[in-house]
Structures are given as structure tokens and as C-alpha cells.
Amino acid sequence: MSEPIRLLLADDQALVRGALAALLELETDLDVVAEVGRGDEVVVAAREHRVDVCLLDIEMPGMDGIEVAAALRSELPDTRSLIVTTFGRPGYLRRAIDAGASGFVVKDTPASQLADAVRRVRHGLRVIDPMLATESLTSGDNPLTPRETEVLRAALSGATVATIAARVHLSAGTVRNHLSSAIGKTGTSTRAEAAMVARDHGWI
């Protein structure tokens, strides 16, 4: 009999981690060997516990799941990553796959399907929630430039132009130009609306 697939669960909600672990441990060929609550703890724990597949939430402190997927691809290329998230946004899917994630499913995926997704990812296949795949194809590419994305991400908190400028190391005038361009591209009328639209599409 082959060795069980060694799993790491990364989610900042302990209850969610516990529920996922309990479901996955029911499968005889899956073994949850590590759990972390922060994105910046994943690579170290994955290396220490010789993890085969990391199940990653997107929104975590330290590093988000997409950044973690990129770090895993760079530092532990034999360790696969599977995004398991509440936030089924098409833009997130594209960014996750670009970052090196092998799969992307939502948290209400039935346990048997999640276990099967883990197995497929472990064997080098790609697993993507079919509804999200369809939405991603129909929603189009992210129209924002990297700088516009950075500025809008900073604007999500409701920060002033001066604060955003200091945070992203640009002049206030340049920040205003980026915000104006982003507002136009998102079809909104304020930077707060533009930031929310970009967030809801998974662009930031």
C-alpha cells in the first residue's frame, strides 16, 4: 500500500481548519500533518513536515494564499498547492493559477469531491471549480495596471490620497492619476467604489 498523501491546512479560522481536517482524515489515503493560521508560516511548516499538498485559504494574515502558492512554487516545487476559499472570484482564480496553484475550489465543495481534488492535484493534475472556470472565461482579463492595482488596494481602507502616496512611494498627483484611470476602467465614480469593484472581481 502506498504512503498516505501528506497535507497541510492553512486557514486563519481555527474552526474551519478543524472541520476540514476532520473531513479529510476520514479518507484512509490522506493524512493532515500540519495546520497553520498564517500565510507566512506555510513554507516553513511544509518543509518541516514534508508536505505533499497544501490547502490554502486566500485571505490570511502574513501572506495571502496566492502569494503563498507563488512562494511554494519557488521554494518547494514538489509541493502542490490547492486554493480552498469562500471567495470564489474569477480574478482570484486567474491570479492563483498564474502564481502556481494546482487547483482552486470553494469551501462548500462536498468532502468527497475535495478529497478527490487533493488526489488529482497530488498526481500533477489541475482541478478548478467548473462554475468559477466559466465565470473566469466570461469576465475578461483584469484591466488594471500593476500600479493601479497597488493604489486601489491601498484605497480599500479608505485612506486619503496623501496616505496612499506615502504607502506606495508615489507623489499625490501620480496617485490621483492612477485612481482616476482605475475609476474609468471600473465604470465607477469614486475611488472607494472602484476599489470595491476591483476587490469583488478578485483583481486586488
Residue boundaries of the structural domains of the chain: 5-138, 146-200
Class of domain 5-138: alpha beta
Q: Would you give the distance in Å from CA 86 to the centre of its chain? A: 10
SS3 for 82?
A: strand
DSSP alpha helix (H) spans, the chain: 14-25, 42-48, 65-75, 90-99, 111-122, 130-139, 146-155, 161-168, 172-186, 191-200
pLDDT at 138: 54
Count of alpha carbons within 13 angstroms of residue 130, beta-carbon side: 1
pLDDT per residue over 44-76, tens digit each? 999 999 999 999 999 899 999 999 999 999 999
Taking alpha carbons only, the member of 51, 68, 52 closest to residue 11 is 68
Same fold, 5-138 and 146-200: no
Q: Note the CATH number of domain 146-200.
A: 1.10.10.10
pLDDT per residue over 73-87, tens digit each? 999 999 999 999 887
